[in-house]
Amino acid sequence: MAARRSTTRFILPAAKLLKAPKSVDVRRAIILLSDGDDNLSHVTREEAIEMAQRAEAIIYTISTNVSGTKGAGDKVLERIADATGGRAFFPFQIRDVVSAFAEIQEELRSQYAVSYKPADFKADGHYRTIEIVANDRKNFRVRARRGYYAPAQ
């Protein structure tokens, strides 16, 4: 019987990214292959998501569920990807995993960095929600984080 992997076991790379020095020239991305089921995690899913958000990491999830239907674990993978500005993939056949990696590669190569500083900026470490929309919604698709953590002083 194969050992099962925990969804939030990605906490180790996220924790390492949190400790790494910040650099404007570096994008941080994690590709998480999982069935989405949690077993023996040391932190909750929401704590793991927060760590990834604080590390400014995008998480792409690839489900290992090949049952042909989305299960509860797949919803967890969608939540993780959505919360970090990533995308969830559900390749119901193993050969489709290659396509998922190709799509992730293409998406990472075609991303743009947008930055701004709000007029009422406070360096208090709190989470701020943001929304980015394209003027031409028919021809452009925006995938972005739903917020960010302001730096703490």
Q: What is the pLDDT along the chain (153 residues), one digit of tens a residue?
A: 344 444 445 555 666 666 666 666 678 899 999 999 887 778 889 999 999 999 989 999 999 988 888 889 999 999 999 999 999 999 988 788 999 999 999 999 988 888 888 888 899 999 999 888 888 888 888 888 888 899 887
Tokens of 95: 């050969």
Residue 24: the pLDDT is 60
Residue 8: the pLDDT is 43
Residue 14: the pLDDT is 63
Residue 1: the pLDDT is 39
The closest of 75, 82, 11 to 47, measured between CA atoms, is 11
Residue 67: the pLDDT is 84
Residue 101: the pLDDT is 94
Tokens of 86: 């990533």
